[in-house]
């Protein structure tokens, strides 16, 4: 078997640059979805499915970076600390703990911490729900598989937008306002992408986006309460 040449820093740099920009990498894909959403997705479906990065790679890599950033971003940790304090001092939780002997405040904190730290990977699991919403909301313009791809690219793009804003907010690390701005811009971006990729009206795009966000919220609540019940059941 022929031995490969020694790996060099130049080759590693080439691999990294190829992934991020050259040869249809992350940045290439991101720019195309921001500038030409409809043309980009149509080319992917109808002409060349190697024209941009694979949808799962695009989303998963962004999710991984987002987790790392938010894990150490002081503003995100500040939000988590405030919720933790509120749960521990919640009068209703205290009354339930005294009545039934369950540490509900602690269980809620654990559930919220898991959800906050891993909510982006969790989105990967509910992309099919988004696909169902957009499949019917946009009058079956694309089949279900195509809706899954569209939502993966759309959510992936909002994740990369969020990463950029959070990195820019580092000088304002204690400001929760930046997190709110990031979420607002991500919502606007999702509306824009739906409008363009589905060639829809703004009203339908806005309505569909908020239905998708509602589904995500409800699914997140179900997830957190499931974790709470599991913790309490385990402790019983």
For 226, the domain range is: 54-235
DSSP 52: S
Does 230 map to a domain? yes
- Can you read off the two tokens belonging to residue 45? 């479906």
- 46 burial (CB, 10 Å; 0-12 / 13-18 / 19+) is exposed
Does 170 map to a domain? yes
Q: 130 and 155 in contact (C-beta within 8 Å)?
A: yes
Does 21 map to a domain? no
Number of domains in the chain: 1
Does 199 map to a domain? yes
Does 1 map to a domain? no
Question: pLDDT at position 186, please?
Answer: 92
CB-CB neighbours of 161 under 10 Å: 19
Q: 152 and 56 in contact (C-beta within 8 Å)?
A: yes
Q: If phi over 0 gives left and psi between -120 and 50 gives alpha, with beta otherwise, what is residue 103?
A: beta
What is the value of pTM for the model shown? Answer: 0.77
Does 39 map to a domain? no
Please list the rounded mean pLDDT of every run of 10 residues in the chain (236 residues): 67 59 74 95 91 89 83 63 54 55 60 64 84 93 94 95 80 64 90 96 96 90 74 64
Q: If phi over 0 gives left and psi between -120 and 50 gives alpha, with beta otherwise, what is residue 201?
A: beta
Does 49 map to a domain? no
């Amino acid at each position: 078997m022929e031995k490969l040449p020694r790996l060099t820093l130049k080759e590693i740099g080439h691999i990294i640059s190829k992934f991020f920009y050259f040869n249809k990498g992350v940045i290439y894909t991101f720019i195309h979805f921001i500038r030409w959403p409809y043309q980009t997705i149509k080319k992917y479906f109808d002409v060349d499915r190697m024209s941009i990065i694979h949808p799962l790679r695009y989303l998963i890599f962004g999710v991984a970076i987002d987790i790392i950033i938010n894990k150490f971003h002081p503003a995100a940790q500040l939000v988590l600390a405030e919720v933790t304090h509120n749960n521990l001092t919640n009068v209703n939780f205290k009354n339930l703990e005294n009545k039934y002997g369950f540490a509900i405040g602690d269980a809620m904190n654990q559930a919220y911490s898991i959800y906050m730290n891993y909510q982006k990977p969790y989105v990967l699991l509910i992309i099919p729900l988004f696909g169902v919403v957009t499949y019917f909301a946009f009058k079956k313009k694309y089949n279900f598989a195509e809706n899954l791809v569209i939502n993966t690219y759309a959510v992936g793009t909002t994740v990369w937008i969020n990463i950029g804003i959070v990195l820019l907010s580092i000088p304002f690390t204690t400001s929760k306002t930046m997190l709110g701005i990031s979420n607002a811009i991500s919502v606007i971006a999702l509306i824009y992408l739906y409008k363009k990729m589905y060639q829809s009206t703004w009203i339908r795009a806005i309505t569909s986006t908020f239905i998708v966000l509602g589904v995500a919220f409800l699914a997140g609540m179900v997830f957190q309460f499931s974790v709470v019940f599991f913790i309490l059941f385990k402790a019983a």
